[in-house]
A and B are shown apart, each in its own frame.
Chain A
Amino acid sequence: MTQAEERDTEEETAALKAPRRGIFGRQTAPLLPEAGAAGAPLTAVIAVMSFLAVLAMASLLMVNRAASEWTSALRSEITVQVKGASAEEIESGVEAVLRVLRDTEGVLEANEKSREETAELLEPWLGDGNAQAFLNIPAIIEVKAAPSLRDNLDLLRNRIAAAAPTASLDDHARWHDRLSGAARSGQAMAFGVFLLVMGAACAISIFAARAGLAANHEIVSVLHLVGATDEFIAAEVQRRFFILGLRGALLGLFAALAALVVAGLAMRAGGGTDNFLPSLRLGGWMILWLAAAPVATCLVTAVTARLTVLKTLSQQY
């Protein structure tokens, strides 16, 4: 009792003059406890999601680039094929076609492919040194065309037909269409994978946010009772998920970049002909696009968590 009375008499002055130690510059703790054990699996899952998102983004970029490389190569190239019953007939057809090409505007280059080259190309079909067939191999003239000519091929086609009836002009339109069709479906697929990964990140985030709310039920309820709004709590959760997400996303990004580099090296070591395969070389701005994938994963995770919390809380009193 005496002790308490002492305190009583002192209290007014003591309360006002009490030393305030360590309060200044104090870093206040997050209002929700550190996720601790629950944080690690979530980080891991987000890392995997972001890894997949980066790979999907990388394949999208590669398909894009390969498609534009292939199609632009095809677009500037026209071939004229000259057939004939005899070598002489083919020869004169070639002469006539070359003459037409020479005075056509927009023809940048026109070269007859050497017969040997053509024969080599055909060898797998004709069999080794089949001389008889060799004689009647059609001549191939490769033409590099300016875009202006490219867009207006019918006139040239008619003139060639008039000059050499056995000649036919191939603008590779069929190939072009097929390649760009293939590229489009490749792009759609990569983009679809990317969206699926984002969807999965969303679902995981909803699940984790709900579980987190349930696990921290007492804390959330105290926060409400001392006057916290749902937005306040949701923002806390969003911040938490953003930090977890960022950690996971960066892990995923580095893992994916490492995987891409390894795959690129393996491809190069595996031999030269990467002409036809999408190349794995990454330009500077491509890295930016790749980095956008984990950022998207992280944002999707955080925003989904926030919306989930808002929705869940709105069903309480």
Chain B
Amino acid sequence: MDAGKEIVRFEEMGLAYEDAPETLSDVTMTLREGEFRFLTGPSGAGKTSLLKMIYLAHRPTRGRFFLFEENATEAPREALPALRRRIGVVFQEFRLLDHLTAYENVALPMKVAGVNQNQYREDVSELLNWVGLGDRMDAKPPTLSGGEKQRVALARALVSKPDLILADEPTGNVDPAMGERIMKLFVELNKLGAAVIVATHDLHLVQSIGKPVLRIGEGRVTRSAGAGGAA
């Protein structure tokens, strides 16, 4: 347990939305370089909330939070974009930009980072081909099916070769075969060095992949033995 660098670390973290009681309480956890975690728990347990804090959309209301070994709770606003660029997120509701084409949506993280189009054009089309949307690159999200949107969202999350991949129900809208393919892709990317957290309800997939599982219930995060238990 001493190996990789810390990617995410929460210490006694708590999250409360406005005046509501805490959605997450006393979360203490560490994710290291090269680790893969599933995140499970009933609907409304706080899986998305936990991911939101990691991708810097929400601040914890108490406790400490380190991202890539930087103190993210105290990081100045100017430091956030650089941290966010190291994270690829597949949002539960996809969050694609409807006025852009599939290609442009996938290219967005690169464009925003000021990368020249010549340097990402091939990666973008390769990814879109990989997710089976090579012939829909010019389609806008409103004309795509739920599963197709999810795959565009997946491609966008991966295009910048992030150090940390966060996927919120990434297989919720695709057929089981595609779901399995996507999970295997995460495993491959994890082997290449990316840390991965996948929030999912699909216990069948969790079992077939065999990676450690974090369970959220009653506001607490607990480790339950993953089906395979390695790491």
B window 3-51: CB within 8 A of A:
none
Q: In the complex the two chains form, what is the Cα distance from A317 to B114 in whole Å?
A: 22
Question: Distance in Å from the Cβ of B103 to the closest Cβ of chain A?
Answer: 7
Contacts of A229 in B (CB 8 A): 78, 81
Q: Does A103 contact B (CB under 8 A)?
A: no
A residues within 8 A CB of B55?
225
Is B58 in contact with A317, judged by CB distance below 8 angstroms? yes
Q: Which residue of A lies closest to B114 (CB)?
A: A232
Main secondary structure of the interface of B (DSSP, over half): helix
In the bound complex, do residue A218 and residue B95 qualify as a contact, i.e. CB atoms below 8 Å apart?
A: yes
**Cβ of A132 to closest chain B Cβ, rounded Å:** 90
A18 and B134: CB pair below 8 A? yes
* Distance from B70 Cβ to chain A, minimum over Cβ atoms (Å): 15
Q: Mark A212-230, 1 if CB is under 8 A from B, else 0.
A: 0000001101111111111
Stretch from A22-30, A75-83, A106-114, A200-208 at the B interface: A22-30
B125 with A29: CB separation less than 8 A: no
Q: A19 interface residue, CB < 8 Å from B?
A: yes
By the criterion CB–CB under 8 Å, are B84 and A225 in contact?
yes
The answer to whether residues A20 and B109 also contact, given A229-B81, A317-B59 and a CB cut-off of 8 A, is no
Given contacts A29-B99, A29-B104, whether A223 and B77 have CB atoms under 8 Å apart is: no
Q: Assign chain B's interface to a size class.
A: 35 or more
Known: A4-B177, A23-B137. A29 touches B101 (CB 8 A): yes
Q: Contacts of A31 on B, CB cut-off 8 Å?
A: 97, 100, 108, 111-112
CB 8 Å contact bits of A174-201 with B (1 = contact, 0 = none): 0000000000000000000000000000
Instruction: Report the Cα distance A21→B129, complex, angstroms.
Output: 11
Could you tell me the distance between the alpha carbons of A222 and B122 in the complex, rounded to whole angstroms? 23
Q: How distant is the Cα of A222 from the Cα of B100 in the complex, in angstroms?
A: 13
Inter-chain CA distance A8–B181, complex, in Å, is 8
Neighbouring B residues of A15 by C-beta, 8 Å: 126, 129-130
**B227 at interface, CB cutoff 8 A:** no
Residues of B within 8 A of A18 (CB): 125-126, 129, 134
Q: Does B222 contact A (CB under 8 A)?
A: no
B130 and A11 contact, CB distance less than 8 A: yes
> Is A3 an interface position by the 8 A CB rule?
yes
Whether, in the assembled complex, A1 has its beta carbon less than 8 Å from a beta carbon of chain B, the answer is yes
Nearest Cβ on chain B to A140's Cβ, whole angstroms: 77
Which residues of B are found within 8 Å of A225, using beta-carbon distances? 55-57, 84, 89, 95
* CB 8 Å contact bits of B63-88 with A (1 = contact, 0 = none): 00000000000000110111011000
Q: State whether the Cβ of B209 lies closer than 8 Å to any Cβ in chain A.
A: no
- A11 contact set on B, CB distance < 8 A: 130
A and B contact pairs by CB, cutoff 8 A, 9 listed: A4-B177, A4-B181, A7-B181, A11-B130, A23-B137, A31-B112, A226-B108, A227-B160, A230-B77
B residues engaging A (CB < 8 A)?
55-59, 77-78, 80-82, 84-85, 89, 95, 97-101, 103-104, 107-109, 111-114, 117, 121-122, 124-126, 129-130, 132, 134, 137-138, 156, 160, 175, 177-178, 180-181
Besides the known contacts A4-B178, A26-B103, 14 further A-B residue pairs in the complex with CB atoms under 8 A apart: A18-B129, A23-B103, A24-B121, A28-B107, A28-B111, A33-B98, A33-B99, A222-B95, A223-B108, A224-B81, A225-B89, A225-B95, A226-B85, A229-B81
